[in-house]
């Protein structure tokens, strides 16, 4: 298929571009390159901002795309609490521009990068797809808004979509050639790895919460497993599957302390754990029920926490300054 990937020069997007190419798809990336990296993808990049409605219309009408994978979004929870307007404008208005341009260009399928943040505080664990949606931060709320818009566009216009609710994406390509590179890194595993490498001091930023060891618990899914979920979702839409939403997680929760311990085991470095400023808007515990995506799309994760950390270590050890090293 001829696929447009928005935000395809970013972390998850670039791994998914690689997966799409391996499966024989023709891929073009749309990215404004504020957060993404041109070096991350070996395909054409249309440089455009989704909040520029006319630029998006021109980009989508420039060739006959058959599907869109939509990753482009702001995604830092703490920043979203401080700057909600920025998140609603970028993530929601930008997505509406994209959907309208898809209708104009008659592109029938969308796979949407959503998040487990749509659930908010867990009322029961593991989280199933029908768990109540009550986001605790504007980032999660913006994604839930787009999911509801997608349902309306599916019903009214026949634009079918699959929303994938990621849990915590982590890790890097097995061969160490592609990985995570954020200018202001907010994710636990890369920050811990960079602490082990001595690139920067590691600061613990989770709040004290009511869990067995007092640190937040999350479900970590390898970025390549996550990329595969997108290609399976695309295949399902092409074969006639109705619009739907799926969790993408391994079904096991690990505490922040357990993740730090795993990084220290893999690296062999007992780095210092400093205390940073706790981040607002973070639920205490969250992990996935992933039976639905396994049953309906045939997806299954191939990586556990140890192998996720090992691939992240391999990437950062070879690229301690990201794509600039």
Question: Does residue 208 register a pLDDT over 90?
Answer: no
pTM: 0.96
What is the CATH number assigned to the segment(s) 171-218+251-288+301-324?
A: 3.90.25.10
| Annotated catalytic residue, options 139, 166, 220, 254 | 139
149-175 pLDDT, tens digit per residue, is 999 999 999 999 999 999 999 999 999
CATH superfamily of domain region 2-169+221-248: NAD(P)-binding Rossmann-like Domain (3.40.50.720)
Q: 153 catalytic, yes or no? A: no
The mean pLDDT of the chain is: 96
pLDDT computed for residue 264 by the predictor: 97
Helices (H), the chain: 11-22, 53-61, 77-82, 84-87, 94-105, 138-157, 188-197, 223-238, 256-267, 291-297, 305-318
pLDDT computed for residue 242 by the predictor: 98
Angle between helices 94-105 and 138-157 (to 10 degrees): 20
CB 239 within 8 Å of CB 290? no
Question: Does residue 212 register a pLDDT over 80?
Answer: yes
Average pLDDT value for residue range 171-188: 93
> Where exactly are the structural domains of the chain?
2-169+221-248, 171-218+251-288+301-324
- pLDDT band at residue 324, thresholds of 50, 70 and 90? confident
């Amino acid at each position: 298929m001829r696929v447009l990937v928005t935000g395809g020069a970013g972390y998850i997007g670039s791994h998914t571009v690689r997966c799409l190419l391996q499966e024989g798809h023709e891929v073009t990336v749309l990215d404004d390159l504020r957060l993404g990296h041109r070096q991350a993808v070996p395909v054409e990049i249309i440089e455009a901002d989704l909040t520029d409605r006319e630029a998006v219309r021109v980009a989508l009408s420039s060739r006959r795309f058959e599907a869109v994978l939509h990753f482009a979004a702001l995604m830092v929870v703490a920043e979203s609490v401080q700057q909600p307007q920025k998140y609603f404008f970028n993530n929601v208005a930008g997505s509406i521009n994209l959907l309208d341009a898809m209708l104009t260009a008659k592109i029938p399928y969308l796979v949407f990068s959503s998040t487990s943040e749509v659930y908010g505080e867990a009322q029961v664990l593991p989280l199933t797809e029908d768990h109540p949606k009550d986001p605790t931060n504007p980032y999660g709320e913006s994604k839930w808004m787009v999911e509801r818009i997608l349902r309306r566009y599916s019903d009214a216009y026949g634009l079918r979509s699959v929303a994938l609710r990621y849990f915590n994406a982590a890790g890097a390509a097995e061969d160490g050639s592609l990985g995570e590179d954020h200018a202001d890194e907010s994710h636990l595993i890369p920050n811990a790895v960079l602490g082990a490498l001595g690139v920067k001091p590691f600061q613990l930023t989770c709040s004290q919460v009511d869990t067995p060891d007092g640190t937040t618990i999350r479900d970590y899914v390898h970025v390549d497993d996550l990329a595969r979920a997108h290609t399976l979702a695309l295949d399902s839409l092409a074969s006639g599957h109705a619009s739907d939403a799926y969790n993408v997680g391994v079904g096991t929760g690990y505490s922040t302390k357990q993740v730090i311990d795993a990084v220290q085991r893999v690296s062999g470095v007992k780095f210092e754990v400093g205390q940073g400023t706790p981040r607002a808007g973070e639920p205490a515990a969250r992990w996935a029920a992933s039976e639905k995506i396994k049953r309906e799309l045939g997806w299954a994760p191939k990586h556990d926490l140890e192998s996720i950390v090992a691939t992240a270590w391999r990437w950062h050890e070879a690229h301690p300054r990201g794509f600039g090293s």
